[in-house]
Amino acid sequence: MMQPEPFNMICPKCGYSKKVTPRSDAIGIEMIQQCPKCQTYMERKEIQESSFFGKLFGK
């Protein structure tokens, strides 16, 4: 079974971030994420970025 790629949801207003693991039975969950602190719609940010730099620096 394919493992969906997790990603981060980040609030552009206060910086709150949350890791989200999408499920095949809950498609669209990333579209309705709101910051629990300020209710701002959060932006999706791929975690891939950090792992990419992790490889660059041999971590």
Chain residues binding Zn ion by CB under 5 A are: 11, 13-14, 16, 35, 37-38, 40
Amino acid in position 22? P
Minimum CB separation from Zn ion for residue 34, in Å? 8
Containing 29, the helix (H) or strand (E) segment is none
The answer to whether 12 and 40 have CB atoms below 8 angstroms apart is yes
Query: Phi and psi for 48 in degrees, rounded to 5?
Result: -45, -35
Nearer to Zn ion, 18 or 52 (CB): 18
Minimum CB separation from Zn ion for residue 35, in Å? 3
Minimum CB separation from Zn ion for residue 39, in Å? 7
